[in-house]
Structures are given as structure tokens and as C-alpha cells.
């Protein structure tokens, strides 16, 4: 079998003190994995531990560093100024601008900080999905999206190149049911 893109073993992670774990997860190319569980059970913290934003207290996180990694973080409560257009943001993330669905193409000339919450969300998710990174971490990608936005996201996930892997935190059960090959309930996984 292929070497995993991400191999989390007996992880205990958190901030000043551990808030999650022990937790283990292996992710292989081609997989879309859903992380579910109640508010505060540590889903975002696991993603942040993988990117180095949360502290690892015990266990190991191994990943294929050549594969690259991209994280779409949960939307911050406050919005700073982002003096970039949608197109510039996509290019910064490695997207060449081709093949954008109409909804996204209409945002490429607009400043990111003047977009609606849903427009900004779909742009942020797109930037990560098509950044070229093969390990993609999505934290509540369905936030602020309407039905059309959720359909667009589902379609994009369903047609991602097979050499990518996605770990997705989501409370959108319908989205999880539709796109995930495997769902890990964080509460059960730590029992
Ligand atoms: N920066 C931080 N410093 C200290 N504690 C934090 C920090 N971020 C989160 N926590 C705490 O860590 C625990 C897990 O939070 P986390 O955001 O990982 O949960 P979650 O499962 O993603 O929740 P939600 O479904 O609400 O997004 C919570 O008790 C939270 O209060």
C-alpha cells in the first residue's frame, strides 16, 4: 500500500495544556476524510497540530513533506483589510486562474475584503483546493455557503485529482455524507 500522506499516532495536542487525544489517523492519497464531533471536542486543534499552530504534547505526526500542505482555517470572527483581488489571492496560492466556475470568475477582480461572507468563503476554499498541495485540510468549508455554493464545493471535492487527500472538519452532515469516503467521530476515536 502507498505510504500515507499523513500519519497521526497517539497524538495529544492543545495549547497551554492538551485539549485533545490520544488520537490516531492515517490519510492516504485519494481519500476524503470527515472529522466530526461536538463543539470543542478538538477537531480544529488536530488540524492546527498538523500545521504547527497547536502544540504537540505526545505522539507523532508524520507527513509526506514533498506533497505540500494547505489549510483553510475557520473564518475569523473579525475581518482585517486584505488589499488583494480574488484573482491575486488565487494566484498567490498557486492557482493559474483557468477553469474557474462562473461564481468564482466573477470575484477575480473584486477586493477580497469587500466580498460577502459566502463569497469570501468559496474563494478561500478554492484557493486551498487548487493550491497544488496534495494534503488539504478544510475547517468548516461549508460555512456561509448557500445551496449553490455547497453544490460547487461537493463537485470540486468529488473531482479532485486522485493524488490529493482531504481532511475535512464539518458540521454540514449532508456535505460529509456526500463527499467523504470515511468519517471519524472525534469523540468515539478518543474513547
Ligand atoms: N488558541 C487556543 N488556546 C487555548 N484553548 C483553545 C484555543 N483554541 C481552542 N481552544 C480550546 O480547545 C478545545 C478544542 O477546541 P477546537 O477548536 O479544537 O474544537 P472543535 O472540535 O474544532 O470545535 P468546533 O466544532 O466548535 O469548531 C476547546 O475547549 C477550546 O476552547
Report if residue 1 sits inside a domain: no
CA atoms within 13 A on the CB side of 155: 9
Q: What is the CATH number of the domain that holds 157?
A: 3.40.50.300
Query: Quick one: which of 118, 164, 108 has its CA closest to 142?
Result: 118
* 43 within ligand 1 shell (Cβ under 6 A): yes
Report if residue 156 sits inside a domain: yes
Task: State the distance from the centre of ligand 1 to the C-alpha of 42, rounded, in angstroms.
Answer: 6
Report if residue 135 sits inside a domain: yes
Report if residue 180 sits inside a domain: yes
* 15 within ligand 1 shell (Cβ under 6 A): yes
Report if residue 79 sits inside a domain: yes
Give me 87's grid cell. 484573482
Report if residue 175 sits inside a domain: yes
Q: Which atom of ligand 1 is nearest to the CA of 20?
A: 14
Stated pTM of the model: 0.93
Report if residue 64 sits inside a domain: yes
- Distance, CA of 38 to chain centre: 18
**pLDDT confidence of residue 144:** 92
Tens digits of per-residue pLDDT, 99-135?
889 989 999 999 998 999 999 999 999 999 988 899 9
ipTM for the predicted complex: 0.98
Select from 16, 20, 42, 48 the residue to mutate for testing ligand 1; criterion: most ligand atoms less than 8 Å from CB. Answer: 42
**pLDDT confidence of residue 77:** 47
* 40 within ligand 1 shell (Cβ under 6 A): yes
Report if residue 106 sits inside a domain: yes
Of the ranges 46-50, 69-73, 93-97, 108-112, the best mean pLDDT one: 46-50
101 Cβ contact partners less than 8 Å away, ≥ 6 residues apart: 152
Range of the domain at 45: 6-185
Tens digits of per-residue pLDDT, 80-98?
777 889 999 899 888 877 8
**pLDDT confidence of residue 99:** 81
Considering its fold, how many domains does the chain have in total?
1
Whether the CA torsion 65, 84, 44, 116 is positive or negative: it is negative
Q: Which atom of ligand 1 is nearest to the CA of 169?
A: 22
* 146 within ligand 1 shell (Cβ under 6 A): no
Amino acid at each position: 500500500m502507498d505510504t500515507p500522506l499523513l500519519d497521526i499516532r497517539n497524538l495529544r495536542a492543545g495549547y497551554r495544556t492538551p485539549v485533545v487525544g490520544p488520537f490516531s489517523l492515517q490519510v492516504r492519497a485519494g481519500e476524503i476524510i470527515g472529522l466530526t464531533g461536538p463543539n470543542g471536542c478538538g477537531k480544529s486543534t488536530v488540524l492546527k497540530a498538523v500545521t504547527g499552530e497547536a502544540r504537540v504534547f505526545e505522539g507523532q505526526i508524520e507527513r509526506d513533506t514533498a506533497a505540500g500542505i494547505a489549510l483553510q482555517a475557520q473564518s475569523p470572527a473579525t475581518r482585517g483589510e486584505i488589499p488583494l483581488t480574488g484573482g491575486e489571492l488565487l494566484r498567490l496560492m498557486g492557482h493559474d486562474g483557468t477553469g474557474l466556475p462562473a461564481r468564482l470568475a466573477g470575484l477575480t477582480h473584486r477586493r477580497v475584503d469587500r466580498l460577502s461572507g459566502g463569497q469570501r468563503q468559496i474563494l478561500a476554499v478554492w484557493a486551498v483546493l487548487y493550491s497544488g498541495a496534495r494534503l488539504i485540510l478544510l475547517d468548516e468549508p461549508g460555512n456561509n455557503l448557500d445551496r449553490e455554493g455547497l453544490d460547487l464545493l461537493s463537485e470540486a471535492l468529488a473531482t479532485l485529482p486522485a493524488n490529493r487527500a482531504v481532511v475535512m472538519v464539518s458540521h454540514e452532515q449532508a456535505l460529509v455524507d456526500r463527499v467523504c469516503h470515511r468519517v471519524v467521530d472525534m469523540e468515539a476515536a478518543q474513547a
